[in-house]
Amino acid sequence: MQGQLQARLVALKAFLIGRQVSPRDRETTKEKAEAARQHLSARADVESIRRFIFYSLVLAELERDRDFFVFREHAMAAGEKLLSLEVEDPFPIYMRIVAATTVPMTTADFGDFNSSPNWSHSSNSVSPTLQHEIDRSNFERAFLAAGLDDGLSDELRSFLYNATFESIMRSHGLLN
């Protein structure tokens, strides 16, 4: 169970970091994650492989609407290494999170103003698409997709909600 929990936490924390990075910190976070991946790529121990997957998934999430393929591919390949060592792979869990938190495009996304009877289109209204983006239910769906619920310990809950990208890098010995 411990390995399965670690895989779930890796996948979910990568998602949360990718979603919570501010636009002004985006490039710096990408650079740090890429440097971490470079540092870990030659290592073959379980922790290094798991960390490589984590940083790859952070990059995949940061690039979710752009160029995520290479990062997902690297995470998947590293996950196969974990499986060969009989260790749980976070990648399929991350992909469940992606599926659960991806909003399908609708005609409203392409300017069809007749497509949403719930939106007045006035200057002070919020579009259903925008409302969905600011809706925190995405995080709830991510938790459910990762197979995590309210039964988490306070320590794990604190890690998921409060641990910063930099503090994780420090704990991995990748930042001073």
- One-character DSSP codes across 61-91: HHTTTS--HHHHHHHHHHHHHHHHTT---SH
Residue 125 lies in a domain: no
Residue 117 domain-assigned (yes or no): no
Quick check: 82 and 49 in contact, CB under 8 A?
Answer: yes
Cα 150 from Cα 168, distance rounded (Å) = 23
pTM: 0.82
User: If we measure between CA atoms, which residue out of 19, 16, 7, 98 comes closest to residue 53?
Assistant: 7
Is 130 part of a structural domain of the chain? no
Encoding tokens for residue 158? 């604190």
Tens digits of pLDDT across the chain (176 residues): 588 999 999 999 999 999 999 999 999 999 999 999 999 999 999 999 999 999 999 999 999 988 899 999 999 999 999 999 999 999 999 999 999 998 776 665 555 555 555 544 444 444 555 544 544 577 888 999 999 976 889 999 999 999 999 999 999 999 87
Residue 14 included in any domain: yes
Domain count of the fold of the chain: 1
- 151 part of a folded domain: yes
Mind listing the pLDDT tens digit for each residue in 141-163? 899 999 997 688 999 999 999 99
Domain that holds residue 31: 2-105+137-171
Task: Write the CA distances from 96 to 4, 143, 145, integer angstroms.
Answer: 14, 10, 6
In a domain, 128, yes or no: no
Interatomic CA distance for residues 38 and 48, integer angstroms: 11
Residue 116 belongs to some domain of the structure: no
* In-domain check, residue 27: yes
Rounded to an integer, what distance in angstroms lies between the CA atom of residue 27 and that of residue 5? 30
